[in-house]
Amino acid sequence: AIGAEKSWAQSATDLANDAKTTDQVLTVGLGQGQQRFSALDKVNTSNVKSLVPVWNYSFGDNRGQESQPLVYKGVMYVTTHDSTHAIDPKTGRGIWVNKFEYPPETPRIVCCGIVNRGAAIYNGKLYRATLDAHVVALNMEDGTEVWKSKAIDYADGYSMTMAPLIANGVVITGISGGEYGIRGFIDGWDPETGKHLWRRYTVPAPDEEGGDTWPGETYKHGGAPTWITGTYDPELDLVYWGAGNGGPWNAEFRKGDNLYVGSVLALKPKTGEIAWHYQFSPNDPYDYDGVNENIIADVEIDGKMQKVIMHADRNGYLYVIDRTDGKLLRASQYINKLNWADGIDMKTGRPIDSALTKKMRATGEKIDVWPSAFGGKNWFPMSYSPKSGFVYANTLEMGMSYKPVEPVFKKGTFYFGLDLAQLQFLFPDDGNTGYLRAIDPLTGDIKWEVGSQAANWGGTMATAGDLVFTGTYTGQFKAFDANTGEEVWSFQTGSGIIGQPMTWEQDGKQYISIASGIGGAYRNFIPVFGAKNVELNKLMASVPEGGSIWTFALQ
Ligand SMILES: O=C(O)c1cc(C(=O)O)c2c(n1)C(=O)C(=O)c1cc(C(=O)O)[nH]c1-2
């Protein structure tokens, strides 16, 4: 049988080396630091024109496909919202499928897309989360369930879409539900038994540190969801995990900084203890979340090598932060239009409220704010190439009309405190709702950009072959020259792409994979809150559903 000789030796060392070992991909992000950079250069700018599909595997599922596949010892593992698949990565033949059910009412408490973003693997088991807020371990050999542990009751507005993270022998998971007035947290689990080890609330109780940043009982529905997988630095033994928007969005009913809304937390993986935090958007009135990925890199800044994380926040600023202590090193605007703030105060690390935000806070008047609640970049991860020194990000150019009103908490329903009848997405005159951008993380300079009418909603991957791969909403999987932005290859995958590219090598050949299958928040919300953009809606409606995974190699 395929993979029968496996020793299941993947360990903490294998995980730490994942970015270097090109014959396997053990982690979402192509390494614990999630640079999404591959050292493979067999496919490069001079031969990428000969990239052709090797196989296509159907999930038999019409939901959005956001999962990044993993490859270990000649088997590919990929997740959907309700199934996990093991596939022979050379032929696309299925090996096993684990299909599971969640209560049919679950989608009602999922804000943005019936999706799953991937799995983690460790010591012979594959870990994933379920939409109804469970964590599951599967036997990698045959897909049977080893354990299943409940994180929390989905009926209270909690769900799970992220991939788990393995750090220092602990399975770590976050939670979704920021639109439903949850109280966010991060959990640690025992990988062998599924025993719950610790919970770190991302909204502190009144008697905990940071508890005084929440008035009265507001912390109970304070949000700060943790729906994007964190990164791990084994040397510092710190996990970097984002905490999202406040509940309700309307911040006048929770005056204060509201820790740890819109923040990155540095956690000790064994205990969940907080080593430091940095808050991107104190009080966050606009659903700017703070959950986006934190890429680990070592870069020269001010004449010395520094251990940093890079983070393109939904609030429109790209941050470089010292990952040893949380000190802000750089912050630069990475989108065209931003009017909620006048910049970041480099001394305090805090954004400076613009006159517009001050007016909204003082009067409660309707405003047109940029970026929109989707942010300058949503969940779809950027990549960082240590070769070029640039990050490659799919960015968004949208604003929103925003009218705060008094919030009403009702279990399992949207907790916004906004007049939804007046919530509208706003679009730039030139018709580009998003750009793929090569950005210098230290200056914010944009080296090149490629605009799209329907914004790209998937991740990017950079390679040593000087290529950047990403997919489009309308279904083309594309490669760009990392240095010039020239489109050098394209293939239509049949449905829209909102997945995360990955690559590995097997028997001397480089393979590149991407899931195709439209869905996610852009699909769900643009037709409702962006209905005035008739052309965009027509284009988006023309994209057929259909979940599958494609794998490519040189002819
Ligand atoms: O606050 C949350 O808990 C939460 C969860 C999720 C999710 O789990 O997918 C999204 C968001 N928020 C969100 O704000 C958002 O824009 C978003 C986009 C998507 C997607 O899959 O396209 N998910 C989510």
Instruction: For residue range 451-475, list pLDDT tens digits in order.
Output: 999 999 999 999 999 999 999 999 9
Locate the ligand 1 atom nearest the alpha carbon of residue 159 and give its number.
Answer: 8
Q: Is 156 among the residues known to form the active site?
A: no
- pLDDT above 70 for 5: no
The band of 244, judged by pLDDT with boundaries at 50, 70 and 90, is: very high
DSSP H or E segment with residue 535: helix 534-541
And the tokens for 147? 């354990």
Report whether 372 contacts 388 (CB < 8 A): no
Phi, psi of 79 (to 5 degrees): -110, 155
Q: Give 156's DSSP letter.
A: G
State residue 10's pLDDT score. Answer: 65
Active-site entry in 61, 132, 187, 287: 287
Cα(78)–Cα(116) distance, rounded to whole angstroms? Answer: 10
Arithmetic mean of pLDDT, 97-105? 97
Predicted TM-score (pTM) of the model is 0.97
The band of 2, judged by pLDDT with boundaries at 50, 70 and 90, is: very low
Which regions of 209-292 does DSSP assign to beta strands (E)? 231-233, 238-243, 263-267, 274-279
Locate the ligand 1 atom nearest the alpha carbon of residue 524 and give its number.
Answer: 22
* Distance from Cα 347 to the centre of ligand 1, integer Å: 31
Nearest to 224 by CA among 273, 274, 188, 174: 174
> Does the C-beta of 160 come closer than 6 Å to ligand 1?
no
* Structural Rg of the chain based on CA atoms: 22
Arithmetic mean of pLDDT, 358-379? 98
Cα(120)–Cα(100) distance, rounded to whole angstroms? Answer: 18
> Does the C-beta of 316 come closer than 6 Å to ligand 1?
no
Q: Which residue lies with its CA nearest to atom 1 of ligand 1?
A: 178
**What mean pLDDT, rounded, does the chain reach?**
96
The band of 171, judged by pLDDT with boundaries at 50, 70 and 90, is: very high
Arithmetic mean of pLDDT, 164-182? 97
- pLDDT above 70 for 1: no
Nearest to 176 by CA among 151, 193, 148, 196: 151
34 by Cβ neighbours in 10 Å (0-12 / 13-18 / 19+) ranks as buried
State residue 392's pLDDT score. Answer: 99
ipTM over 0.95: yes
Pairing of strands 460-463, 37-38: parallel
State residue 350's pLDDT score. Answer: 98
214 by Cβ neighbours in 10 Å (0-12 / 13-18 / 19+) ranks as buried
Q: What is the dihedral of CA 313, 68, 85, 76, to 10 degrees?
A: -150
> Does the C-beta of 378 come closer than 6 Å to ligand 1?
yes
* CA 144 to chain CA centroid, nearest Å: 28
Locate the ligand 1 atom nearest the alpha carbon of residue 374 and give its number.
Answer: 16
CA diameter of the chain: 68
State residue 409's pLDDT score. Answer: 95
Arithmetic mean of pLDDT, 85-107? 97
Arithmetic mean of pLDDT, 278-286? 98
And the tokens for 351? 């954004």
The band of 552, judged by pLDDT with boundaries at 50, 70 and 90, is: very high
Arithmetic mean of pLDDT, 286-300? 97
* Distance from Cα 111 to the centre of ligand 1, integer Å: 6
